[in-house]
Amino acid sequence: MTTILTYTLKNLPITSKWALRFSMSSAPAVQTKMKTLVNPNISNVVVVHGVHLMPHDLAKAALMGLMHWTSVPKEVVDSIIFGTVIQEVKTSNVARKAALGAGFSDKTPACTVTMAYISANQVMTTGKDTVTKDNGICPSSLEQVAKLTRAFIKPCSTVAAANSSFLTDSASAMLITAEEKALAMADKPKAYLRDFTFVSQDPKDQLLLGPTYATPKVLEKARLTMNDIDAFEFHETFSGQILANFKAMDSDWFAQNYMGRKTKVGLPPLKKFHTTGYRLVMAAEGGQNGLVAA
């Protein structure tokens, strides 16, 4: 074993006073700060500069080496998992950063697991479950599902843990500006915001029916009809909410008794319907009209 002690001069670009200390040694600790070696016959040794690799850089090198030796195309990799002994906030997902750095697609999922010194073992067992059983493992039966607690209105609710989407984390960002500013910055606008509206209903029995109420209002403001829309998008976690909106939009009775309309709103054609939130705005092309509701 080796112990290295260094004393940093004030003008060196190192923030830690004791910059390097590797492993442990039985040698006695140095009690005083010395700039020179004890033996005056040996020239002083100084630290000029130092660099180190971030964890994801090391992982990236390992990934690139693995793909080189196996000759497996990056495109066929379904998931990437790395293990870290200690999880740190500043490097919360080493696997993701390593995968992007190694040239994998940003659509390839990557996650990092932590189980101290057996993190590598945890990687293998986690990966094994994905390979053999796919994602979202739910060993169950119709009888077990029927016994689950319902999430919303108890007498008639059909939404429970078994038929709901899994917990997911995601984020999106959008830059909006005046058209003149975008053109001045040589940025081609992806879409134009034609109009918008906000609505509110009785949360007791219409909590998630916002799209049904908002759709005709925004179309009337923009002087458009359902037939003028090339792509629809309703964003919601549960398919039951989408189906409830479809039923309300396709009902003359609902339009007359709840919305004060003479006729129903009308159903969006399924071939024009999307369910991915912000993606429609970024994907629609060729002079299309898009309607997004949430």
Nearest CA to 113 out of 129, 97, 94, 130 is that of 94
| Positive or negative torsion for Cα 94, 98, 104, 105 | positive
Tell me if 84 sits within 8 A of 95, measured CB to CB: no
Residues 269-283: pLDDT tens digits? 887 876 554 455 555
Per-chain mean pLDDT for the chain: 73
What does the domain layout of the chain look like in residue ranges?
1-51, 55-133, 179-293
Query: Between 141 and 267, where is the model more confident?
Result: 267
Three-state DSSP at 59 gives helix
How many helices and strands, by DSSP H and E, does the chain display?
9, 5
Q: Higher-confidence residue: 261 or 130?
A: 261
pLDDT of res. 9: 45
* pLDDT per residue as tens digits for the range 181-195: 888 877 777 778 888
User: Is the whole model's pTM more than 0.75, yes or no?
Assistant: no
Q: Which of 6-20, 83-97, 251-265 has the lowest mean pLDDT?
A: 6-20
Q: Which residues contact 69 (CB under 8 A, 6 or more apart)?
A: none
Average pLDDT over residues 168-187: 71
SS (H, E, C) 222-270: HCCCHHHCCEEEECCCCHHHHHHHHHHHCCHHHHHHHCCCCCCCCCCCH
Residue 92 pairs in a beta bridge with none
114 and 120 Cβ atoms separated by less than 8 Å: no
CA dist., res. 293 & res. 213, Å (int): 10
Chain centroid offset of residue 30 CA: 49
Please report the pLDDT score of residue 11 as a whole number: 44
Whole-number Å distance between alpha carbons of 35 and 157 = 75
Residues 213-240 have pLDDT tens digits of: 999 999 998 898 888 888 888 876 677 7
Q: Where are the alpha helices (DSSP H) in 71-209?
A: 94-101, 119-133, 142-146, 179-184
CATH superfamily entry for domain 55-133: Thiolase/Chalcone synthase (3.40.47.10)
**Mean pLDDT in residue range 121-126:** 66
Cα-based distances in Å from 266 to 99, 156, 259: 46, 25, 13
Instruction: Place 287 in a pLDDT band, splitting at 50, 70 and 90.
Output: low
d(CA 67, CA 259): 59
pLDDT band at residue 256 using 50, 70 and 90 as cut-offs:
very high
How far is residue 249's CA from residue 214's CA, in Å, rounded to a whole number? 11
Question: From CA 82, how far away is CA 98, in angstroms rounded?
Answer: 9
Higher confidence at residue 258 or residue 132? 258
Give the per-residue pLDDT at 230: 83
C-beta atoms surrounding 124 within 10 Å:
10
**pLDDT tens track for 21-42:** 433 344 444 444 455 555 566 5
| 42 or 121, greater pLDDT | 121
Give the pLDDT score at 251. Answer: 94
Confidence category of residue 10, pLDDT binned at 50, 70, 90: very low
Determine how β-strand 290-293 pairs with β-strand 231-234. parallel
